[in-house]
Amino acid sequence: MPIESTPQSLTARINDVEIVAGTPADLRFASVQELLRQRAVALGLLAADADQTATVAALEHLLEREVKVPQAGDEEVERHYLANPGRYTVGELVFASHILLQVTERTPIQPLLARAEAILHQAQADASRFAELAREMSNCPSAQVGGSLGQLQRGDTVPEFEAVLFADGSVGVLPRVVRTRYGFHIVKVERREPGKLLPLEMARDRVASDLAEQSLSRSLQQYLERLASNAEVNGIDLMSDRRY
């Protein structure tokens, strides 16, 4: 009987405070929160022994005070709109099927990815077998109907799946395994129905919101990097990943 390994804790240190977490993502999040907490304490916005509720409020105040977000002008809004027509198209439909190899907390990733790649090669070699492969190998309830997800539009799936599904106008078995929070997917696009691009005036608020979100992300990362450069950070590289 195989012995399951116990996940080991990960540690980092922000100045004199040790951070312990179970996953790299949790360690990064906790480290960023601690870096911000220490900044709020240094500015007198938060007591060193404050509870979680007070800390959350103080960090919001800190970011509002210290992170300045540039606002997009009309020309930038128009450029972004013209460069990303798919983002502002409504009514576009994709009819797709998938085979899901689910990832759980204890799943060994590399063997599962290798299995997903092998299934992808089988599906590419004979796309007519896709439904059969889905019924045999998929961990999704859709396996019962040959992996069919029916018709999908933007917003129906998690962002990482949607980004691949609507990336272009291709049909058939997609050329690579898709990784999402749920696991590894082999995807087949059965057909597409094109949508209609919204006029700029109708899409303007959404475009401005998208640009504001991007600008906020950049500004937050720059602020985080400034804080990290002035702190003693060990066990984690807060400069290496621009998502936090």
pLDDT in tens, 118-176: 999 999 999 999 999 999 999 999 999 999 999 999 889 999 999 999 988 899 999 99
- The sign one gets for the Cα dihedral 178, 182, 188, 194 is negative
Within-domain flag for 20: yes
DSSP-derived secondary structure for 97-151: EEEEEE--TT--HHHHHHHHHHHHHHHHH-GGGHHHHHHHH--SGGGGGTTEEEE
Within-domain flag for 129: yes
Task: Report residues of the chain scoring pLDDT below 70.
Answer: 1-8, 240-244
Same domain, 209 and 190: no
Within-domain flag for 241: no
Same domain, 186 and 210: no
Within-domain flag for 54: yes
- 18's enclosing H/E stretch is strand 17-21
Q: Which pLDDT score is estimated for 211?
A: 95
Same domain, 188 and 210: no
Same domain, 110 and 19: no
The one-letter code for the residue type at 219 is S
Q: Which pLDDT score is estimated for 104?
A: 84
Comparing CA positions, the residue from 192, 190, 191, 188 lying closest to residue 120 is 188
CB 104 within 8 A of CB 4: no
Within-domain flag for 243: no
User: Alpha-carbon distance 149 to 162, whole Å?
Assistant: 13
CB 214 within 8 A of CB 83: no
Same domain, 97 and 62: no
- 15's enclosing H/E stretch is none
Same domain, 16 and 107: no
Within-domain flag for 97: yes
Q: Which pLDDT score is estimated for 243?
A: 42
Residue 127 φ then ψ, to 5°: -60, -20
CB 94 within 8 A of CB 201: no
- Continuous H helices in the chain: 24-42, 52-66, 74-83, 109-125, 130-137, 159-165, 200-229
Comparing CA positions, the residue from 102, 181, 179, 107 lying closest to residue 140 is 102
Same domain, 121 and 182: yes
Query: In CATH, what number is assigned to the domain containing residue 170?
Result: 3.10.50.40
Q: Which pLDDT score is estimated for 8?
A: 64
Spell out the residues 6+ positions from residue 120 whose beta carbon is closer than 8 angstroms to its own.
173, 176, 177, 186
- What pTM was estimated for this model as a whole? 0.62
Q: Which pLDDT score is estimated for 9?
A: 80
Same domain, 153 and 187: yes
Same domain, 181 and 103: yes
Within-domain flag for 98: yes
Comparing CA positions, the residue from 187, 120, 117, 103 lying closest to residue 147 is 187
Same domain, 185 and 212: no
Within-domain flag for 79: no
Domain count, the chain: 2
Q: Which pLDDT score is estimated for 29?
A: 93
Same domain, 160 and 209: no
Q: Which pLDDT score is estimated for 106?
A: 81
Domain of 30? 10-72+205-234
For residue 12, the cross-strand partners are 19
Q: Which pLDDT score is estimated for 240?
A: 55
Same domain, 100 and 172: yes
User: Alpha-carbon distance 21 to 14, whole Å?
Assistant: 14
